[in-house]
Amino acid sequence: MHAIYNAIASHRTRFVSELKELLAIPSISTDPARVADMKLAAEWLCGHLEKIGLTSRLFETERHPVVYADRLDAKGKPVILFYGHYDVQPVDPVEQWLAPPFEPAVKDGVLFARGASDDKGQLFTHIKAVEAWLETAGSLPVNVKFLIEGEEEIGSPHLPGWLADHPDLRSADVVVISDTAQFGPGMPSLCTGLRGLAAFEIHVKTGESDLHSGSFGGAVPNAIQILTSMLNALHSENGAVNVPGFYDEVAEPGADELRSWGTLAHSDEEFRASAQVGVLAGEAGRSTLEKLWSRPALEIIGIRGGYQGHGHKGIVPATAWAKCSMRLVPCQTPAHAIDCVRRRVMSLAPAGVHVDFLSGHGSPPVSIPVESQWVESAVRALESGFNKKPVFIREGGSISVVTRFVNDYGMPCLLLGFGQPDDHIHAPNEKFNLDDFVSGIRTSAALIAELAKLDSTL
Ligand code: BES
Ligand code: MN
Ligand code: MN
């Protein structure tokens, strides 16, 4: 690995400036005004992957293109599929950024830009690792594929179809993804579980139109009051989700896993401070790591109704709605969770009031078995790349397509996060530590060497 690590160290400045080029493209998948930029980012990646010695293709979808590239000349050796996403989150509130989000800038060894950590910067570690291998050894000891989508931040609506349509392109011995984070600075981590997601909306309608609050107030139902009391009833006093059946499918982590979480240096006070909140919340009797990693959550993510303009308006509002999102843990299914809340919400609806329950997108949770040769290789690679033994963690976030790889296709999947929990992903001033960027490239290069020692199972 020595020669490859030297190459990575000597190209650090160039690698960072190339990443800055990619970060300068405002590829916000949810913004219709950025469709051309999405295409530009995809084309940039195709061109870059070609330049380092891979064969690349751009696949159009109904929305944003999929980038695919490969180099498959290591006969009989394992095939690694690197997955990442080139789309980023919106930048608002943009006034809270200390520098413009699409003008990447390095300050004290930290790269600031939207997408620096989630996920362009982390994805780029794998591209640069492959490049360093090719430059140093002239060839790769494994077969590599890159699958880079532009719809991760909007729930990957078209990727499952693409995977089904291209079995030969998606097939691999192992999937490698860096779209999670380290447990903390200097704590290389292997993630063994992701929460799933299930979204829903509640719409309340009490009558045909808002009414005068003097002529009707106190004698007719108020849509906002009904909605908020229904929402309130979805949690109990002790912070648990108060929905019959909701916890039925929840699997408790094993004793070994819980014990190993207990050894992680977690401080509730530091966590509280990093979240910039005055107090922590949630289910009584559960540790913060359990709340984030192995317990489901139900969040009200938006609420609207009534008058929101200047001053006051004398009305009894006739309509109100709320958007909610649940984070699901192994072995919950979005369908069961949605069913349970739907029943609960409809049972809370007062007679004579119109309540609509709408279910949105869902994605099941994922868990990664640790007893595998793939995980052993990843542990060795992380230890080599960071000069430190990795820890096993889970994450509270979701990556929709991982459940396809793991649950639908039975593919082993390695979740190696190089970012930090305080990288401000999805928030103003997103950042990526450049030492983590370089350690990530080293890890990825070491992983290629480790996986080359294994037999292909294809
Ligand atoms: N990279 C994140 C997932 C993540 C977040 C992993 C935090 C570990 C820690 C990913 O880009 C993301 O934001 N996922 C969305 C999925 C949704 C849009 C379907 C999420 O978790 O909300
Ligand atoms: Mn991501
Ligand atoms: Mn994200």
User: Domain-by-domain residue ranges, the chain?
Assistant: 2-194+365-451, 196-250+296-363
Q: Is the CB of 118 under 6 A from ligand 1?
A: yes
Residue ranges of E strands in 142-222: 143-149, 174-177, 189-194, 196-205, 211-212
Q: Is the CB of 399 under 6 A from ligand 1?
A: yes
Q: What is the pLDDT of residues 229-280, one digit of tens each?
A: 999 999 999 999 999 999 999 999 999 999 999 999 999 999 999 999 999 9
What's residue 116's pLDDT? Answer: 98
Which tops the pLDDT comparison, 134 or 457?
Answer: 134
Averaged over 136-154, what is the pLDDT? 98
Contact between 421 and 265 under an 8 Å Cβ cutoff? The reply is no
Read off the tokens for 93.
Answer: 């509130």
Q: What is the pLDDT of residues 51-84, one digit of tens each?
A: 999 999 999 999 999 999 999 999 999 999 999 9
Q: Is the CB of 191 under 6 A from ligand 1?
A: no
The one-letter amino acid at 424: H
> pLDDT grade, residue 359 (50/70/90)?
very high
Atom index in ligand 1 nearest the CA of residue 155 equals: 19
Q: Say what the pTM is.
A: 0.95
Q: Is the CB of 122 under 6 A from ligand 1?
A: no
What's residue 152's pLDDT? Answer: 98
Read off the tokens for 95.
Answer: 């006034």
Which ligand is in closest contact with the Cα of 326?
Answer: 1
Atom index in ligand 1 nearest the CA of residue 179 equals: 1
Nearest to 274 by CA among 107, 119, 423, 398: 423
Expressed in angstroms and rounded, the spacing between residue 226 Cα and the centre of ligand 1 is 32
Q: Tell me, which fold does domain 196-250+296-363 have in CATH?
A: Alpha-Beta Plaits (3.30.70)
Shortest-distance Cα residue to atom 19 of ligand 1 = 155
Nearest to 356 by CA among 368, 346, 371: 346
Which ligand is in closest contact with the Cα of 400?
Answer: 1
Which ligand is in closest contact with the Cα of 395?
Answer: 1
The listed CATH number (3.40.350.10, 3.40.630.10, 3.30.1330.80, 1.10.240.10) that belongs to domain 2-194+365-451? 3.40.630.10
Contact between 73 and 406 under an 8 Å Cβ cutoff? The reply is no
CA distances from residue 122 to 117, 259, 411, 431, 454 in whole angstroms, order as listed: 6, 29, 21, 11, 25
Tokens 């819980």, residue? Answer: 258
The one-letter amino acid at 315: I
Expressed in angstroms and rounded, the spacing between residue 195 Cα and the centre of ligand 3 is 13
Intrachain domains 2-194+365-451 and 196-250+296-363 with the same fold: no
Say if residue 457's pLDDT is above 90.
Answer: no
Averaged over 36-59, what is the pLDDT? 98
